[in-house]
């Protein structure tokens, strides 16, 4: 499929303007220098400790994420449109969350089916009636985008709970600047290193009304066995806040406290990287050892802010995804700037019949799946894989959606034989607090296997630095 895909560097054999500063750089780099730089990048990743975890395959789950040195480039004009669309979508998703935990106007108006919201596993009745500070439920929105042409971008999915990967965005840039400083002197590239300061400002801005001083922010991690633990510690360090586990926090009176060497200190904002189910054993899973008993009572009474708020996951459910353009129209009175991928819901009889008849042509995903798991890429699947997936969909059709196989854009990528196009996606990180903002860039993931459309690191994908040019 690569030969039919939009190539982000070349247009009819000519180099597209955003990449004009990179053609000679890539062409003139000797093979031995490229190999040396690649080894240097891997050594830096290993020294810093940038790993991700793949469970269930035996041995150590920690792996070094593959890093490709050929950056992905957007012009300032391309990025300006993406930024408007991402901010619009983040506002609509947050308006939806406030609504469905309140009056449910969008459901009453018949624009979103009630069953999809109120019977959704991610819908948390424990937060009904709560309006968080500034009306924000999802404070870090990771929106996964793909490109199919010069001006065609589609949203693959929304991540409203605890989107990961921002540490890779920051470290990719750091490593590229170390290895190729001359490129950053020749090309004006918008900075991404302001992200930690922007995140801290966002978290500070949603401190509860009971906070009458500079907010104390902590990051709540499940612990060092979590696949994203490196990122938790990285962000805590970059923001200058404490990284805590559930056992470090306790509830007393109307507040949450952290144990320190100077005695208990009141916590105002918790950036949690723990799933809803484990946040508070008195409210959710009683067997959780990761959360804080009584935390939800403090949250309800306005004693602490939790970012992102419990229950935010109902907005990024893959079945709800199909209605996000309608949310934009309903809450903002605007037309969506970014399009959804056309999506079939297998819970609908007509959609199911079409999906079952065309499994070899479609991408079929579990509604609650993530990380590239629980999905079928029909054109790449074997007859036996399609047959097995057919049985799963027939057994629980409401648990699946299906989408056409898009011809994802391809970016130049360093491979063994030189430079070759490989498919990519993009995850920008939109911060929502007192203001809505994002750094110019994001995490570009690349499918390193020729022809593959699966970019997830757990499925063999790698990462690239993402450049936004300054006009």
Q: What pLDDT is attached to residue 458?
A: 67
- Give the span between the Cα atoms of 353 and 381, in whole angstroms: 19
Q: Scanning the structure block, which residue is given the tokens 């693959």?
A: 156
Q: What pLDDT is attached to residue 95?
A: 98
Q: What is the mean pLDDT of residues 134-139?
A: 97
Q: What pLDDT is attached to residue 215?
A: 98
Q: Is 425 helix (H, G, I), strand (E, B) or coil?
A: strand
- Give the span between the Cα atoms of 133 and 155, in whole angstroms: 28
> pLDDT (tens digit, 9 = 90+) per residue, 264-287?
999 999 999 999 999 999 999 999
Tokens of 103: 């009056």
Q: Number of H helices and number of E strands within the chain?
A: 13, 25
Q: Scanning the structure block, which residue is given the tokens 């983040």?
A: 90
Cα-based angle 446, 224, 303 (whole degrees, multiple of 5): 100
Confidence of residue 455 (pLDDT cuts 50, 70, 90): confident
Comparing 350 with 369, which gets the higher pLDDT?
A: 350
Give, as one character, the DSSP assignment of residue 280.
Answer: -
Using CA atoms, how far residue 286 sits from 74, 271, 272, 316, 412, in Å, is 47, 22, 18, 25, 50
Residue 57 pLDDT more than 70? no
Q: Is 426 helix (H, G, I), strand (E, B) or coil?
A: strand
Q: Which residues contact 382 (CB under 8 A, 6 or more apart)?
A: none
Q: What is the mean pLDDT of residues 76-100?
A: 98
- % of the chain with per-residue pLDDT over 90: 81
Question: How many other CB atoms are found less than 10 A from the CB of residue 152?
Answer: 13
Q: What pLDDT is attached to residue 418?
A: 87
- Give the span between the Cα atoms of 283 and 181, in whole angstroms: 51
Q: What is the mean pLDDT of residues 419-437?
A: 96
Q: What is the mean pLDDT of residues 185-211?
A: 96
Confidence of residue 372 (pLDDT cuts 50, 70, 90): low
Q: What pLDDT is attached to residue 65?
A: 83
Of the given ranges (268-277, 368-377, 461-470), which has the lowest mean pLDDT? Answer: 368-377
- % of the chain with per-residue pLDDT over 70: 94
The number of angstroms, rounded, from the C-alpha of 327 to the middle of its chain's C-alpha atoms is 20
Q: How far is it between the farthest Cα atoms of the chain?
A: 68
Torsion of CA 245, 43, 188, 463, to 10 degrees: -70
Confidence of residue 451 (pLDDT cuts 50, 70, 90): confident
Q: What pLDDT is attached to residue 408?
A: 92
Average pLDDT of every residue of the chain: 92
Q: Scanning the structure block, which residue is given the tokens 């921002």?
A: 166
Which one, of 471, 469, 470, 462, lies nearest residue 172 by Cα? 462
Which one, of 269, 171, 85, lies nearest residue 466 by Cα? 171
> pLDDT (tens digit, 9 = 90+) per residue, 290-300?
999 999 999 99
> pLDDT (tens digit, 9 = 90+) per residue, 300-311?
999 999 999 999
Confidence of residue 377 (pLDDT cuts 50, 70, 90): confident
Q: What pLDDT is attached to residue 371?
A: 53
Q: Are 207 and 133 in contact (CB under 8 A)?
A: yes
Residue 1 pLDDT more than 70? no
DSSP 343-397: -EETTSHHHHHHHHHTTTTEEEEETT--TT-SEEEGGG--HHHHHHHHHHHHH-G
- Give the span between the Cα atoms of 224 and 217, in whole angstroms: 20
Tell me the domain boundaries of the chain. Answer: 2-208+304-340+406-468, 344-404
Q: What is the mean pLDDT of residues 341-355?
A: 93
Q: Which CATH number fits domain 344-404: 3.40.640.10, 3.30.1490.270, 3.40.630.10, 3.40.50.720?
A: 3.30.1490.270
Q: Which residues partner with 143 through β-bridges? A: 158
DSSP 191-251: --TTHHHHHHHHHHHT--TT--SSPPEEEE---TTSTTHHHHHHHHHHHT-EEE-GGGEEE
Residue 52 pLDDT more than 60? no
Q: What is the mean pLDDT of residues 135-145?
A: 97
> Global pTM?
0.92
Q: Are 73 and 17 in contact (CB under 8 A)?
A: no
Q: What pLDDT is attached to residue 153?
A: 97
Q: What pLDDT is attached to residue 62?
A: 62
Q: What is the mean pLDDT of residues 105-117?
A: 96
Q: What pLDDT is attached to residue 373?
A: 63
- Give the span between the Cα atoms of 64 and 344, in whole angstroms: 36
Confidence of residue 106 (pLDDT cuts 50, 70, 90): very high
Question: How many other CB atoms are found less than 10 A from the CB of residue 23?
Answer: 15
Q: What is the mean pLDDT of residues 339-365?
A: 94
Q: What pLDDT is attached to residue 374?
A: 74
> pLDDT (tens digit, 9 = 90+) per residue, 206-250?
999 999 999 999 999 999 888 889 999 999 999 999 999 999 999
Q: What is the mean pLDDT of residues 106-119?
A: 96
Of the given ranges (2-11, 48-57, 207-216, 399-408), which has the lowest mean pLDDT? Answer: 48-57
Q: How many CA atoms lie within 13 A of 383 on its CB side?
A: 0
Q: What pLDDT is attached to residue 51?
A: 58
């Amino acid at each position: 499929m690569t030969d039919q895909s939009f190539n982000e560097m070349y247009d009819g054999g000519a180099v597209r303007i955003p990449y004009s500063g990179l053609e000679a750089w890539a062409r003139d780099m000797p093979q031995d220098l490229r190999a040396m730089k690649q080894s240097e990048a891997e050594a830096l990743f290993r020294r810093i400790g940038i790993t991700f975890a793949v469970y269930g395959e035996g041995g150590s789950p920690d792996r070094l994420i593959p890093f490709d040195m050929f950056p992905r480039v957007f012009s300032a004009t391309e990025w300006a449109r993406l930024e408007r669309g991402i901010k619009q979508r983040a506002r609509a998703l947050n308006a939806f969350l406030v609504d469905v935990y309140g009056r449910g106007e969008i459901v009453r108006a018949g624009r979103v089916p009630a069953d999809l919201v109120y019977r959704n596993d991610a819908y948390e009745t424990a937060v009904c009636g709560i309006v968080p500070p500034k009306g924000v439920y999802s404070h870090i929105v990771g929106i996964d985008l793909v490109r199919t042409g010069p001006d065609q971008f589609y949203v693959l999915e929304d991540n409203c709970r605890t989107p990961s990967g921002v540490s890779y965005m920051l470290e990719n840039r750091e490593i590229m600047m170390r290895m190729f400083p001359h490129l950053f002197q020749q090309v004006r590239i918008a900075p991404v290193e302001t992200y930690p300061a922007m995140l801290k400002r966002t978290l500070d801005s949603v401190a509860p009304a009971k906070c009458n001083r500079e907010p104390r922010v902590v990051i709540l991690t499940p612990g060092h066995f979590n696949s994203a633990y490196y990122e938790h510690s990285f962000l805590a360090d970059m923001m200058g806040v404490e990284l805590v586990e559930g056992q470090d926090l306790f509830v007393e009176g109307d507040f949450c406290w952290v144990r320190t060497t100077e005695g208990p200190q009141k916590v105002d904002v918790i950036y949690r990287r723990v799933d809803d189910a484990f946040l508070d054993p008195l409210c959710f899973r009683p067997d959780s050892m990761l959360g804080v008993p009584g935390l939800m009572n403090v949250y309800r009474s306005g004693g602490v802010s939790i970012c992102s708020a419990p229950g935010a996951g109902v907005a990024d459910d893959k079945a709800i995804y199909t209605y996000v353009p309608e949310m934009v129209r309903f809450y903002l009175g605007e037309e969506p700037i970014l399009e959804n991928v056309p999506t079939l819901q297998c819970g609908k009889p007509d959609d199911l019949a079409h999906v079952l008849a065309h499994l070899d042509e479609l991408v079929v995903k579990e509604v609650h799946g993530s990380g590239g798991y629980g999905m079928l890429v029909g054109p790449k699947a074997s007859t036996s894989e399609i047959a097995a997936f057919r049985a799963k969909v027939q057994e629980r059709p409401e648990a699946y959606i299906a989408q056409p196989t898009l011809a994802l854009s391809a970016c130049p990528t360093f491979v063994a034989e030189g430079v070759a196009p490989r498919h990519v996606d993009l995850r920008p990180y939109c911060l929502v607090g007192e203001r809505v903002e994002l750094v110019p860039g994001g995490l570009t993931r690349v499918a390193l296997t020729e022809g593959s459309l699966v970019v997830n690191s757990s499925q063999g994908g790698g990462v690239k630095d993402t450049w936004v040019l300054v006009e």
